[in-house]
Structure 1
Amino acid sequence: MYYLRLARGYRSLDLARWLLTATAAAVVAAFLLRALGRALHGTGGNLERLLWCLPPLAAVGWFAAVAARAVPAQHPERVAGLTAAGAGPARIRALVAGETAVACALGSALTLLLFLILRNDIAGPGLAADIGMGVPLPAAAPVALLAVLPLVAGVSAAAAIRFPESLPGRPAEPGRHRYGALRLLLPAPVLLAGAGLELYGLRPDATDAERTLALPGGLPATSPALLVGWALAALALALWTGPLLALAGLLLALRRPAPLRLLAGRTLAAQARRLGAPLAVLTAVVALLLVAWRDGARTGADVPALNLVESLLVLACAIAALAARLHELRADRRPALDALDRLGTPPALLTGAAALRVLAAGSVLLLTGGLTVLLCPLR
C-alpha cells in the first residue's frame, strides 16, 4: 500500500527512474531466461552464458545504488515526513530499497510471462533453443534466477544511502573535499603492476601459444597476463579520476582567480569525491566499448546481437547513474544557488562556471579514458 501511495506522488524524474529500472531488469531477466532455456536444451556453454549475464546485472545494481542515494536529496519533504512519523534511518533505507526491488520484480515478471507465452508453441524454430521449447521447465529454476535481480538491486540501494547527513533536520556532517595520502598513492602501485604485466605479455620472445584465453564476442585470444595487466591499469586510472577532478578544480581557482574561475574551481573540487565514481565507471565502459569496436573494425567480425544489446544496456545504466548523481548534486547546491541569486549574481556567470566545470572534467576524462584505450593489449 505504501508503494501505491508513493507512485501517486511520482514526478517525471521519479517515473523515468522507475521505468528505466524496470526496463533494465526486464532485459537482464531475458538474458537469464535465455541461459536457462539453452541449458534445458542441452546446447552446452552454460557457465559462459551465465557469466555474460553478470555485467548487465552489475550495471543494474550500480544504477539502483546511485539512484537510491539521490532520493533523500530529491525528496526532502518525503524523508522529513517519514522521520516525523517515527521512521528511522533503517526504516527509510528499507523503504527505498523496497521501491527499487518492486520495480525490478515487475520487470522480471513481465519477461517471465513473455517467456512462458513463447514456450506455449508460439515461438518459431529460431527461438526454440533459446527458450528450451519441448523440454519440461522446472518451476523453481526461473523463480530462483529472477529472484536475484530484486535482491541485488534492493541490497545495492539499501547500502548506498548515507545517514544521518541525508536526513532533513539532522546536523550535517562536515564534508570532506580533500583526498588522503593513501587514496592518492594507492593507484600508483596498481598501475605499475598492470604495466609490468602488460610488458611481460608483450615481451619479444612471447609466442602465440601463450594466448590461451579465448575472449567472447569475436575478440582475439589473449594471454592472462595481458588481460589482467590491462584490468589493473584501467582500475588505477579509474581510482585516479576523483583526485584528478579535485586537482583540476584547484588549478582553476589558483592565483587570484576571477569570480568565474573561483566559482567553477571551488565547486568542482567540492564535488570531485561524489562525481569521481560515476564518471570513472562511465569512462571505463566507453573505453571498453571503443576497444571492442576498434578490434572489430580491424578484423571485420560481426558483432552478435545479444552482445550489442548488453553493451547498450550497460552504457545506458552508466549514463543514467551519472545523470542521477548530477541531479543529486544540483539538489544539494540549491540553497547556495538561491543565495547567489538573492545576491544578484548574473545568470551568465553561473552558466559560464558550469561550462568551465564541464570543460575541466572533460579534459580529465579524455586523459584517463584515452590512456585506458591506449594501454589495451588487443591489437
Structure 2
Amino acid sequence: MFYLRLVRGYRVVDLGRWLLTATAAAVVAAFLLRALGRALSDPPGAHSAAERLLWCLPPLIAVGWFAAIAARALPVHRAERIAGLRAAGAGPRRLRLLIAGEVALACAAGALVSLLLFLVLRNDIAGPVLAPELGMGEPLPPAAPIALVTLLPLVGGIAAALAVPGRDALPQDRSAPAGAAFGLPRVLAAGLLTAGGTLTELYALRPAAADDPRPLQLPADLGHTNALLFGGWAAAALGAALLTGPLLAGVGRLLALGRPGARRLLAGRGLTGLAPRLSAPLAALALTLAVVLTAVRHWVAPGASGTGPLPAAEALLVTGCALAAVVARLTELRAARRPVGETLLRLGSSPQLLAAATLLRWSLAGLVLLATGGLTAVLGAGMLT
C-alpha cells in the first residue's frame, strides 16, 4: 500500500526511471528463461548449463549497476519525499530499505512480465523457430523459472540498498577536494595502463608473435587470442577507464587557470566539483563502449563469421544500462546544483552565461569520455585476431 501511494506522486522522471528498471529486468529475465529453455531442449552434454548462465551475467551486472545509480539519485531528486518520511519517523535504515523495496518491485514487475510471456509462448503458441529457445515439448520444472525470476528483484534490491548508505539518507553537501578524491585512483589507473600497454606491446613484438597459436577462444565469435595478451588488454582498459575521473578534474583545473572569464571559471570549477561523483558512471560507460565497439569491429570485419542475435542484444542492453546510469547521475547532479544556479541568478548572473558555462562543461566532459573510451577501444583492436 505504501508503494501504491508513492506511485500516485510519481513525476515523469520517476515513472521513466521505474519503467527503465522494469524493462531492463524484463530483458535479463528473458535471457535467463531462454537459457532454461535451451537447457531443456538441447540433448544432454551438448552445451554446459554454466556457460549458458554465464552469458546472462554481464546484463545482470548491468541491471544491478543501473539500479544502484537510480537508487542513489532518488534522495537528491525527491528531497521532499525523503524529508517527509524522516519527519514521519523513518530512520536512515528504514529509508534505505524503502528505496531498495521500490527498486526491487520494479525489477519484479519486469521479471514477471517476461515469465508470463514465456509461459504463454510455451502453450503451443510459439513457432518452430522459438520452440528450441522455450524448451517446448519438455516438462518444465516449477522451481526453475521461479528461482531465475526471483534473482532479478534480489539483485536490484541489494544493489539499491548498498548504494544508499545511511549518511546519504538526506540530501547534503558531500563536496570533497578533487585532488584528495583522485589520489589513489590516479596512481592505480596510471599503473594499470602502463603495465597493461607495455605487456601487450612486448608480447606482440616478440620474435615468435607471428607463429603464436593463440589458444584462448573468445565467446560470441570474437576469434582467438592469448591469455597473457588478454590480461594485458584488460589491465590497460581498466586503467584507461579509471583515468576518466582524474582527467575530468584535471580539465576543470586547466580551464580555470590564469585569469579566466566568468564562463570559463564557472565551467572549470563546476567540472572539478562534479568529477568525483561523475567519474564512476563515466568510467563504466567508457569501458562498456570500448568493449562493445571492439566486438562490433570484429563482427563487421571482412571474413568474420556471423554472430547470433543474443550477443548483439546483450551488448545493446549493457550499453543502454551504462548510458541510463550516466543520465540518472546527471539528473541527480542537476537537482543538487539547482540551488547554486538560483543563487547565481539572484546575484545578477545572466541565464545566457549559466547556459554557456553548462554547455562548455558538458562538452569537455564528452571529450574526456571519447578520449578514454577511444583509447580503450584502440587497445582492444590489437588483441583480437
| TM-score (structure 2 length as normaliser) | 0.94
| Structure 2 residue 28 is matched with structure 1 residue 28 | yes
- Worse-superposed segment, 300-309 or 84-93: 300-309
Native 8 Å contact 1:100 1:153 kept in 2: yes
Other-structure match for 1:340: 344
Q: In the aligned structure 2, how far is the partner of 1:207 from the partner of 1:136?
A: 51
Aligned pairs, how many?
377
Per-residue deviation, 1:25? 0.5
* Residue aligning to 1:9: 9
Residue aligning to 1:273: 276
One of 184, 187, 190 as aligned partner of 2:186 = 184
Letter in 2 for 1:110: V
State the superposition RMSD in angstroms: 1.7
Which segment drifts farther, 122-131 or 313-322? 122-131
2:384 aligned partner = 378
User: What is the aligned counterpart of 2:294 among 286, 291, 295?
Assistant: 291
CA distance in 2, matches of 1:64, 1:48: 25
1:233 pairs with 2:236: yes
Task: Summarize the alignment of residues 183-332 of structure 1 with structure 2, pairs less than 5 Å apart.
Answer: 183-202=185-204, 203-206=206-209, 210-299=213-302, 300-332=304-336
Is the 2:96–2:166 contact (alpha carbons within 8 Å) kept by the matching residues of 1?
no
Q: Are residues 1:356 and 2:364 paired?
A: no
Which residue of 1 is the match for residue 18 of structure 2?
Answer: 18
Judged with a 3 Å threshold, the aligned counterparts in structure 2 of structure 1 residues 61 and 336 are, in CA distance, closer, same or farther, namely same
Which residue pairs with 2:88 in the alignment?
85
Contact 2:287 2:373 in 1 (8 A): yes
Comparing 208-217 and 109-118, the one that deviates more? 208-217
Corresponding residue for 2:141?
Answer: 138
Amino acid in structure 2 at the alignment position of 1:87 = A
Cα distance in 2, alignment partners of residues 199 and 14 from structure 1: 48
User: Contact conserved, 2:241 with 2:376, CA < 8 A, in 1?
Assistant: no
Task: Give, in angstroms, the shift of residue 172 of structure 1.
Answer: 4.6
Instruction: Say if 1:200 and 1:225, in contact at 8 Å, map to a contact too.
Output: no
Identity %: 57
Cα gap change, 1:208 to 1:109, in 2 (>3 Å) = farther
Of the structure 1 ranges 142-151 and 118-127, higher mean CA displacement relative to structure 2 is found in: 118-127
Whether contact under 8 Å (2:182, 2:245) holds in the other structure is no
TM-superposed CA distance for 1:366, in Å, is: 2.4
- Could you tell which deviates more after superposition, 24-33 or 144-153? 144-153
Offset, 1:79: 0.4
Look up the SS of the partner of 2:343 in the other structure.
helix
Q: Determine helix, strand or coil for the equivalent of 1:87.
A: coil
Partner deviation per Cα, 1:143-173 (whole Å, 9 max, x = no partner):
11111111111111111114424415xx755
**Does the Cα contact within 8 Å between 1:76 and 1:167 map onto a contact in 2?**
yes
Q: Mean Cα displacement is larger for which, 221-230 or 97-106?
A: 221-230
For 1:154 and 1:301, the matched residues in 2 are separated by 39
User: How far apart are residue 199 of structure 1 and its match?
Assistant: 2.9
2:73 corresponds to 1:70 = yes
- Cα offsets for 1:252-291 (capped at 9, x unmatched): 0001211111000000000001111111111111112211
What amino acid is aligned across from residue 149 of structure 1 in structure 2? Answer: L
Amino acid across the alignment from 1:31 = F
Contact 1:66 1:325 (8 Å CA) reproduced = yes
The farther-off stretch of 154-163 and 234-243 is 154-163
**What secondary structure sits across from 1:147 in the alignment?**
helix
Q: C-alpha distance in 2, partners of 1:61/1:275?
A: 18
Q: TM-score, normalised by structure 1?
A: 0.95
Offset from partner CA, 1:327-379 (integer Å, 9 cap, x none): 10011111111101112211111111111112221222222122111111124
Contact 1:230–1:375 (CA under 8 A) maintained in structure 2: yes
Write the letter of the residue equivalent to 1:161: V
Question: Aligned equivalents of 2:174 and 2:212: distance in 1?
Answer: 56
In structure 2, distance between residues paired with 1:113 and 1:234: 40
Could you tell me how far apart the structure 1 residues matched to 2:99 and 2:168 are? 16
Q: 1:41 to 1:74 in 2, by over 3 A?
A: same
* Alignment-mate amino acid for residue 155 of structure 1: I
Structure 2 gaps, min length 5? none
Paired with 2:209 and 2:345, the residues of 1 have a C-alpha distance of 64
In structure 2, the CA distance between the partners of 1:306 and 1:223, relative to structure 1 (3 Å rule), is same
Residue 195 of structure 1: how far off its partner (Å)? 2.1
Whether contact under 8 Å (1:246, 1:270) holds in the other structure is yes
